[in-house]
Amino acid sequence: MTLVQTQPRSANATPMHRTVADAMDMAAPQVCDDMTVEVALSVMISARAGHLLICDDDGLCTRLVTRARLAAVRDSDAYTDRIRLRDVPGDRGPFTAPRTPMNQTEYPMSHRRLDALPVVAEQGSAPGVLAPA
């Protein structure tokens, strides 16, 4: 499991001008997409996390997956212990950037009923996850 590099949050941010970087969880677990579903579930349980950031071989964030989604895959009739995270069907977005104003994230999260939104930097790395407080 690769954890996200943490950076101090801005103490001077005002609620009126808050950005995603001010509110995101920087300790979201990140795993490679070649990990099996069973191992990913174990990582989530150990980290007490409800979601994982999935990264490709280059370390670029490709998506976020929830514990409920992985449990549904594991409990399906088509499940085998060889299914990798890259094989799990699902959404590849949306993503947000650290500099995005918080008021611009409300619509995508509520409209798509998202529990969390991956925060992806310009280089494709994922510094964290935005989850409602």
Residue 117 to residue 53: CA distance in whole angstroms: 10
- 23: tokens are 């509110």
Predicted pLDDT of residue 111: 77
Between 9 and 32, the higher pLDDT residue? 32
Q: pLDDT per residue over 14-53, tens digit each?
A: 455 688 888 777 767 889 999 999 999 999 999 998 888 8
Residue 2: which pLDDT band, with cuts at 50, 70 and 90? very low
Sign of CA dihedral 55, 59, 60, 61: positive
pLDDT of 7 higher than 60: no
Q: What is the DSSP letter of 22?
A: H
Find, among 128, 132, 109, the residue nearest to 119 by Cα: 128
Predicted pLDDT of residue 17: 63
Grouping H, G, I as helix, E, B as strand and the rest as coil, residue 32 is strand
Q: What is the distance of C-alpha 86 from the center of its chain? A: 14
Q: pLDDT per residue over 79-127, tens digit each?
A: 999 999 999 987 676 788 888 888 888 777 777 777 777 888 887 777 7
